Chains A and B, each alone.
Chain A
Amino acid sequence: MNPVISARGLTKRFGRTLAVDHIDLDIPAGRIVGLIGPNGAGKTTALKAILGLATFEGELNVLGKNPARDRASLMEDVCFIADVAVLPRWIRVWQLIDLTEQIHPGFSREKCLEYLSHTKVTPDHKVKQLSKGMVAQVHLALVMAIDVKLLVLDEPTLGLDILYRKQFYTNLLNDYFDEQRTILITTHQVEEVEHILTDLVFIQDGKIALSATMDEVQEKYVELMTSPQKAEQARGLGPMNERVMFGRHIFLYQNVNREHLADLGELHTPSVADLFVATMKGGEV
């Protein structure tokens, strides 16, 4: 099956800076991909290229289209939430629904109203009367009512309180995601998304630092928690990262013989956040 997104040598320059530096990337259908990187790593720039919002160098193919040229027709199969605050403030909810219905071929009014019925939002509300969390609910209801192949979420929960954030991802996973659809998420709140991701892409200084499925991550990376006495021995096995927590030394290894490690202490699958920190540190050396 053709990948939903396929990039070869994707590059974006701002003046002399390379915001995205020759990225190669393939994202197949039916995945939930987390695009994770520090501020200024090029995540949003890469997403903008994918969404046809920015020009770029290199090859980029999204659902068989060149986004820079065919944004309008691409948007029939792609939806995105750029961040929580981009719905026009003057508009009423019923107007948003009307408009999306007339412009988007795959929009279902019933579905949208059904999602909204679980919230406090009414069709007569103006966006500017709603709280940030409610605006996010409206946007999510709109987007989930559209039948598209690719959904792109760029920091979709930024500035929302924890209740809304949990609800947001629960809705997304339960009501929306299926094998036909692909979701691409960037976020700083890695802990919130790591349980729903199927794939992980780390991006640093415009380059891909890691690209793996979550299964591969579990296979490849392991975290060892050990006592200070055994730390020296553990260090000798070439960990990617070391940190100390409550007097215990925690080492993160890549492609290491687990049987050797098991003798030294407890083994865990590392969290995405820890893996991220370790990978970013590795990149700095």
Chain B
Amino acid sequence: MNRLIALMRREFWENKGAFRTTPLVIGGIYIVFMLMAIFTTTHIDNELYTFKEGINALAAQPAEMRALVIGEAMLGSSILFSVVMSFVILFYLLGSLYDDRKDRSILFWKSLPASDTLTIASKLLSAMFIIPAFFMAVLILTHTLMAIIGSLMVLSVDGNPWTLFLSVFNPFKAWGLIASSYLAQSIWALPLYGWLMLVSAFAPRVPLLFATLPPLIFAVLQTWIEFLRTFTLKNNIVGVIGEWLFNSPVILTAEFDDGRGGIALGIPLTKDFDHAVTIANMLDRLFSLQMLSGLVVAALCLAGALWLRHRAAES
């Protein structure tokens, strides 16, 4: 257990920029935009007349309505974090079993009494839990800072931030949902994570190419054969992967077409699952047949990665 923790610390040290700095930059962007908006408002309207009007209009709404707006805004603001996080995880996993082969430091890592299984576990667990934990922590920090800045603004025009928005919505509800969705996504994305680690253990160079080309070639062939057979374009691997993404248990869409916020899990183009943001819908995905087949794919890929890692220092 100590060894696993030590190895996971190593992953953090090596990838500090990706794990910690990246979410901080996104949080920073939110804060900077908020401050820019405030400066713009005060510059144009130094009496803050429109701002006061806005507060009054908001205060006139029923509390449930305000809670809904705040809740959806909190959930919606996680999308940027989640999308960037998925790229961070993608590149982290692609490098996870490749970088040390490339610079030969694998010979040092293999001189430590830590098994290949433990090494792979430390990298997979970092992708599943450590990276989301950093993004989650910074997201909470960002929300908190934004709430403080917003409160100060409201106070500055003699409004009451507590009755206006702080007391109407429990932020832990939104944070709980987002954190749960990250955990669910870590499991849902296991077949992808397994594939990336397999490629990382195998690729002689440019893992990104090896990760994307085979599925692409396979998809083209499949589509072509399928087309020759049925003269339709359905049921190919792109469709499978696309649906997998659309069904993600992480908040990816914010529609505002009906006037009200429409925050959804994944992208609601498929009808396999309910896309409303609830824990039940996340669990629904995790206890599905798709998930089971995905876990089989993940297990095969990880076994392959372990086999390759075992022989990685051979030549």
Interface residues of A, Cβ cutoff 8 Å to B: 14, 48, 51-55, 71-76, 79-83, 85-92, 95, 98-100, 102-105, 139
Question: Do A55 and B110 have beta carbons less than 8 Å apart?
Answer: no
- 24 A-B pairs (CB sep. < 8 Å): A14-B315, A48-B313, A53-B107, A54-B314, A55-B311, A71-B115, A72-B114, A72-B115, A72-B116, A74-B113, A75-B114, A79-B111, A80-B111, A82-B107, A82-B108, A82-B111, A85-B104, A89-B103, A91-B14, A98-B6, A99-B10, A99-B112, A102-B9, A103-B3
Q: With a CB–CB cut-off of 8 A, which chain B residues contact A53?
A: 107, 110, 313-314
Give which listed residue, A48, A88, A105, contacts B108 with CB less than 8 A.
A88
Q: With a CB–CB cut-off of 8 A, which chain B residues contact A86?
A: 104-108
How far does the Cβ of B33 sit from chain A's closest Cβ, in whole Å?
32
Q: With a CB–CB cut-off of 8 A, which chain A residues contact B105?
A: 86-89
Most chain A CB inside 10 Å of its own CB: which residue of B5, B107, B112, B113: B113
Question: Do B14 and A88 have beta carbons less than 8 Å apart?
Answer: yes
CA distance A105 to B6 in the complex (A): 13
Measured CB to CB, the nearest residue on chain A to B111 is A80
Question: Do B113 and A104 have beta carbons less than 8 Å apart?
Answer: yes
* Beta-carbon contacts under 8 Å, B50-109 to A: 100, 103-109
Question: Do A103 and B14 have beta carbons less than 8 Å apart?
Answer: no
Measured CB to CB, the nearest residue on chain B to A14 is B315
Q: With a CB–CB cut-off of 8 A, which chain B residues contact A99?
A: 6, 9-10, 112
CA distance A88 to B108 in the complex (A): 8
B2 at the interface (CB under 8 A from A): yes
Q: Is the interface of B mostly helix, strand, loop or mixed?
A: helix
Most chain B CB inside 10 Å of its own CB: which residue of A89, A95, A99, A139: A99
8 closest pairs, A vs B, by CB?
A: A102-B6, A72-B115, A82-B107, A75-B113, A88-B105, A53-B313, A86-B107, A54-B314
Given known pairs A53-B314, A55-B311, A55-B314, the reply for A87 and B113 (CB within 8 Å) is no
Q: With a CB–CB cut-off of 8 A, which chain B residues contact A87?
A: 105, 108
How far does the Cβ of A176 sit from chain B's closest Cβ, in whole Å?
16
Interface residues of B, Cβ cutoff 8 Å to A: 2-3, 5-7, 9-10, 13-14, 100, 103-116, 118, 311, 313-315
CA distance A89 to B14 in the complex (A): 10
How far does the Cβ of B307 sit from chain A's closest Cβ, in whole Å?
11
CA distance A103 to B107 in the complex (A): 15
Question: Do A88 and B103 have beta carbons less than 8 Å apart?
Answer: yes
Q: With a CB–CB cut-off of 8 A, which chain B residues contact A75?
A: 110-114
Q: With a CB–CB cut-off of 8 A, which chain B residues contact A103?
A: 3, 6-7, 112-114
CA distance A63 to B100 in the complex (A): 28
How far does the Cβ of A44 sit from chain B's closest Cβ, in whole Å?
9
Q: With a CB–CB cut-off of 8 A, which chain A residues contact B113?
A: 72-76, 103-105
CA distance A51 to B111 in the complex (A): 8
CA distance A83 to B111 in the complex (A): 12
Q: With a CB–CB cut-off of 8 A, which chain A residues contact B314?
A: 48, 53-55
Question: Do A102 and B5 have beta carbons less than 8 Å apart?
Answer: yes
CA distance A51 to B3 in the complex (A): 20
CA distance A41 to B5 in the complex (A): 40
Q: With a CB–CB cut-off of 8 A, which chain B residues contact A79?
A: 111
How far does the Cβ of A133 sit from chain B's closest Cβ, in whole Å?
17
How far does the Cβ of B10 sit from chain A's closest Cβ, in whole Å?
6
Most chain A CB inside 10 Å of its own CB: which residue of B107, B108, B111, B311: B111
Question: Do A102 and B3 have beta carbons less than 8 Å apart?
Answer: yes
CA distance A79 to B112 in the complex (A): 8
Beyond A55-B311, A100-B112, 6 additional pairs, beta carbon < 8 A: A14-B315, A53-B313, A75-B114, A91-B14, A99-B6, A104-B112
Q: With a CB–CB cut-off of 8 A, which chain A residues contact B13?
A: 90-92, 95
How far does the Cβ of B18 sit from chain A's closest Cβ, in whole Å?
12
How far does the Cβ of A80 sit from chain B's closest Cβ, in whole Å?
5
Q: With a CB–CB cut-off of 8 A, which chain A residues contact B109?
A: 88
Measured CB to CB, the nearest residue on chain A to B108 is A86
Measured CB to CB, the nearest residue on chain A to B104 is A86
Question: Do A72 and B118 have beta carbons less than 8 Å apart?
Answer: yes
CA distance A91 to B314 in the complex (A): 24
CA distance A11 to B114 in the complex (A): 26
Measured CB to CB, the nearest residue on chain A to B311 is A55
CA distance A75 to B314 in the complex (A): 17
CA distance A83 to B114 in the complex (A): 20
CA distance A254 to B114 in the complex (A): 46
How far does the Cβ of B35 sit from chain A's closest Cβ, in whole Å?
34
Measured CB to CB, the nearest residue on chain A to B7 is A103
